[in-house]
Structure 1
Amino acid sequence: MTVNIEITERLDEARFISATGALGVGVHEPSLMAALESRPHFIACDAGSTDAGPFALGSGRAAFSRAAVKSDAAAVLRAGNKADIPVLIGSVGTAGSDIHVDWMMDIVREIIEEHGWSKRVAILKSQQDPAYLEALYNAGRIKPLNPAPEIDGGVFARSSRIVGMMGVEPLQAALKEGVDIVIAGRCSDPALFAAFPIMHGLPEGLSWHAGKVVECGTLACEMPRKEGVIVGTIRPNEMLIGPVGDNLRCTPLSIAAHSLYENGDPYLHTECSGILDLTNSKFEPVDEKTVRVTGSAFRDKPFTVKLEGAEQLGFQSVMIGGIRDPYIIRQLDNWLGKVTEYIHRSVEHVLGDQITRDQYRLVFHIYGKNAVMGSLETEQTAGHEVGIVTEVTAPTQELATQIVKMCRQPLLHAPIPEWKGAITGFACLHNPAELERGPIWRFNLNHVAEPDDWRDMFRLEIVQIGGAA
């Protein structure tokens, strides 16, 4: 499908505020209120991403606490109410599935009722119907990105939840309804900022680039701090980006650097309806804290929607401890290899009628030796102690816990040639040593769908909260 942009009222410029890099990490309300002096047309912020891992999408829970999200949302909505401008919040509840949108709407209702407001709210949902996706897959209209796991038609039914990442089109449909607040499921972060200027006739390239730069809030600044917000202006031939807040400034270097952030290609950034092209972008200082950007372009491409899915892997139990014995540390890999084989033999002997080796996973994460970078680590120097997280994943919680319990004794007393007689070389952090993590998930999709229309994948509802408009 191709998307025709419907231009509403044309504007010479569109002004906006990026209130925070992620709803729940903090909003500096004094700076936000001060930024209203720029007479913005809207305020936007995102509330999630895949950065937090598959847990939020799989479980339906949020990565940030409800109290933190409510505090930030209340500050943003107070600013929107004071200026009488729309507020857009996307990827709510971290992963943006339907359960996250409903959770966020409960918070929004509370805030509106506590303040005695009357607000018209657009609800955009992005969770996908497995049967619909399977039909697209069978029609050859779901394509892998790079890298992507191998999938079959059953992956959609196996998934706990699947969301599509919306672009500007659903957001523009909501804004055209004249709403006060937009609460969106999984959403392209830059789309939250690009939707309004594009629908008012301003350049797509500059609009998308502005969104790309400001979606992380003051992380676009040199020496970023939480205590501030970002303001932006989109004009026919330029965009201006700068902060409001003490000791904050944007520079050509900081804005150019954030243009590269979280992207595999330094120049081309793919969105639903096209590709942001920064090949000819130019970054110049306007003053000591504001940057002008020109030359950013937007290429057409067939309309696609990125899919994100999570499926349950099993259940997990862990045990945390440490080793300080220098003789064990010198031969740690060999020692852990022997411990591992001992544990596998024990599991086979004790639980062999319930589980086989290929049905569970035993991993030792060695903090102090390659735990953070894994095989990419170049620094091999070990310290005087190492922390070891023993991790067991199994089909049931009971089996995961039984197996991790069987790891404690060999870790405590596995011998080495340097010591004679019984030794204890491993110290457990907790008592009891085992900790049950519960169900765990993995991402199972890195693909794009090719729908007939964006409305096939995203749903818009308008509600009135707090009385008549």
Structure 2
Amino acid sequence: MSKSELKILCPNGHLGFAPSKEGSFALGKEQHPDYYCCDSGSDDIGPVPLGEDACASPYAWQVHDLEMMLLAAREQNAPMIIGSAGDTGSNSRVDMYVDIIKNLAQKHNLKPFKLAYFYSELPQAALEAKMDAGVEIKGLDNRPALTKEELDATSRIVAVAGVHPFIEALKQGADVIIGGRCSDCAVFAAPAIFEGFPPDLSYYLGKVLECASFCAEPYGAKESVLGAITQEDVKVTAMHPDQRCSIASVAGHAMYERSNPYYEYVAGGLLDMTNCSYEQFDEKTCRITGPVFKPREDPYLVKLEGSGKVGEMRVGIAGVRDPYSIKNIDKVLAWAREQVAEQMKGVDYELHFIVYGKNGVMGDMEPQKEITSHELCVVIKGVAPTAEQAELVATMGTRGIFYARLPEVKGTAGTAAYTVDEVLTARAAHRWTMNHVVPVKDPMELFELHFDQAGK
């Protein structure tokens, strides 16, 4: 270990999901961080992008963030690390990011640098072979173990890497690393562990940096934060002039999203934050001590994410302003369901109504005693094997709201319910088929590491 302190700048909690703010990034660059790191993926976006092997974020926004980071990193000769490329970390998204980096290097006449990248996509045959050999692929979050039927229903699978591919790339002198699907915190923990800092603090550093300015207050997304690690502590500082990393904002971020707020499962083990201590180091900086990383004993488990296509989807939108229809919206939707069922006999379809505005909040078809909103917006989703069938489901579901027959109504009540007269094309519907873990003998077993050169 040569450094007593390591500084990492993170500009965005999800690279490209919305453009990173250049002002706070420039302030972070002035701190001369040792690494520029950012996570670019999430399963929060749902199973569709993975199933369709597509991005959830606009290409131009991803190029913007990569360009901003690459130019700063190469100017200061600091490594740059990206994880879960292109929202999903599939092989094609990794290739896309590698091409972007190469093109940017040419565009800006950058000196040659070593580019590393790894793949996370997993063929079905690899899991089938493990299952045939008697390996149980256990489900997470109360899912049953993986079956051949669910495997067959899966369109695409990615394995979630830990710190190991990043550390191996750094060992081999990589200047820029583009990662496939990986644990969010691994992007930041890996360089800290590689540089000789304790895993306990390194994984916490990853946890606090992974969402960038979400750990700061007041709320402001897509702003840069600077994390610093020593042998004794982690410090995190907000770069935006009007934000600060307070005890409340940092501790709150560390404990969100989990039934047990003191534990975070990360690739390779468990981050125990029970005994974390938070103190206000200065006006904009919070200091953290006390996290404990508990590595998992053999076997090493790798998380798997799989997506499978359900069917084609079309979407309708209906606005309801008639007070009586609003009061009886559950009956209106039930009538619309009956009309779709009558028209779609023998077809394996799905019809979903999402109601916005039930007393100011989003609701579903759960009955409410009284609805006081003056207007409802109903989003209708029709899913079926073919596009034509999905359009029929969505169209009938939408117009069924307009033509609903309420037994107490005499005359035309529907004239007060306004609807669009055509449905909208949407991406195909997918579902998560796989949220499982597979045992491996080597943490690198499922991840292919490659090297290339970029620049002139």
Please give the range of the TM-score, normalised by the shorter of the 2 chains: over 0.9
The aligned counterpart of 1:74 is: 67
Seen in structure 2, the aligned counterparts of structure 1 residues 445 and 73 have a Cα distance that, compared at 3 Å, is same
Structure 1 counterpart of 2:94: 101
What is the CA-CA distance between 1:76 and the residue it aligns to? 0.6
Q: 1:375 to 1:322 in 2, by over 3 A?
A: closer
Shift in CA distance, 410/456, structure 1 to aligned 2, threshold 3 Å? same
Deviates more, 1:408-417 or 1:301-310: 408-417
2:304 to 300, 303, 307: 307
| Greater alpha carbon shift after TM alignment, 27-36 vs 312-321 | 27-36
Q: For residues 258 and 238 of structure 1, what CA distance do their matches in structure 2 show? A: 17
* CA separation of 1:262 and 1:408: change in aligned 2, threshold 3 A: closer
Q: Distance in 1 between matches of 2:332 and 2:255?
A: 43
Q: Does residue 366 in structure 1 map to residue 342 in structure 2? A: no
Secondary structure at 2:248's aligned position in 1? helix
On the 8 A contact 1:413/1:426 being kept in 2, the answer is no
Amino acid at match of 1:22: H
Q: 1:421 to 1:33 in 2, by over 3 A?
A: closer
* Counterpart position of 1:165: 160
> Residue 420 of structure 1: which of 410, 419, 423 is its match?
410
**SS of residue matched to 1:368:** strand
The structure 1 residue matched to 2:263, chosen from 268, 271, 294, is 268
Alpha-carbon spacing, 1:136–1:373, altered in 2? closer, same or farther (3 Å): farther
Task: Pick the aligned partner of 1:340 from 337, 340, 349.
Answer: 337
Q: Select the residue among 314, 317, 320 that pairs with 1:317.
A: 314
Q: How does 1:112-191 map to 2 (within 5 A)?
A: 112-117=105-110, 118-138=112-132, 139-148=134-143, 151-191=146-186
- CA deviation string 1:358-392 (max 9, x = no partner): x1112222222397354899996341121122221
Aligned residues: 450
State the Cα RMSD in Å: 2.2
Pick aligned residue for 1:384 from 351, 374, 377: 374
* Aligned match of 1:6: none
Q: Distance in 2 between matches of 1:210 and 1:30?
A: 23
Q: Does 1:445 align with 2:439?
A: no
Contact 2:186/2:267 (<8 A) preserved: no
Please give the alpha-carbon distance, in whole angstroms, between the structure 2 residues aligned to 1:426 and 1:312: 37
Match of 1:22 in 2: 14
Q: Which runs of 5+ in 1 are unaligned?
A: 1-8, 349-354
1:252 Cα shift? 1.1
- Conserved in 2, the CA contact under 8 Å of 1:321 and 1:426? no
Structure 1 distance, partners of 2:232, 2:304, is 33
Check conservation: 2:40, 2:84, Cα contact below 8 A: yes
Q: Which moved more, 1:225-234 or 1:52-61?
A: 225-234
Distance 2:398 2:385 in 1: 21
1:197/1:98 Cα in 2 relative to 1: closer, same or farther (>3 Å)? Answer: same
Write the letter of the residue equivalent to 1:91.
S
Question: Distance in 2 between the 1:12 and 1:36 partners?
Answer: 20
Indicate the SS of the match to 1:319.
strand
CA distance in 2, matches of 1:402, 1:232: 53
Other structure's SS at 2:414 match? coil
Structure 1 residue 282 displacement after superposition: 0.3
Check whether the contact 2:233–2:289 (CA below 8 A) recurs between aligned residues.
yes
**Distance in 2 between the 1:426 and 1:403 partners?**
23
The two structures have a TM-score, normalised by structure 1, of: 0.90
Give the Cα separation in 2 of the matches to 1:376 and 1:251: 40
Deviations 1:215-244 (A, max 9, x none): 111111010324741111111111111122
Q: 2:315 touches 2:423 (CA, 8 Å); kept in 1?
A: yes
> Does the aligned pair in 2 maintain the 1:404–1:434 contact within 8 Å?
yes
Distance 2:78 2:382 in 1: 51
CA distance 1:177–1:338, change in 2 (3 Å) = same
Q: How many Å separate the matches in 1 of 2:82 and 2:280?
A: 30
> Structure 1 pair 102/314, CA: closer, same or farther in 2 (3 Å)?
same
Contact 1:318 1:390 in 2 (8 A): yes
Structure that is richer in strand per residue: 2
Q: Distance in 2 between matches of 1:40 and 1:133?
A: 40
Greater displacement, 294-303 / 381-390: 381-390
Secondary structure class of the residue paired with 2:250? helix
Deviation at 1:455, TM superposition (A): 2.3
Give the corresponding residue for 1:40. 33
TM-score w.r.t. the length of structure 2 is 0.93
Change (3 A) 1:387 1:39: closer
Secondary structure of the residue aligned to 1:120 is strand
Question: Once the 2 structures are TM-superposed, how far is the Cα of residue 292 of structure 1 from its aligned partner?
Answer: 1.0
The residue type paired with residue 66 of structure 2 is A
Q: Work out the CA distance in 2 between the residues paired with 1:427 and 1:189.
A: 45
5+ residue gaps in structure 2?
A: none
**2:332 and 2:401 in contact (8 A); partners too:** no
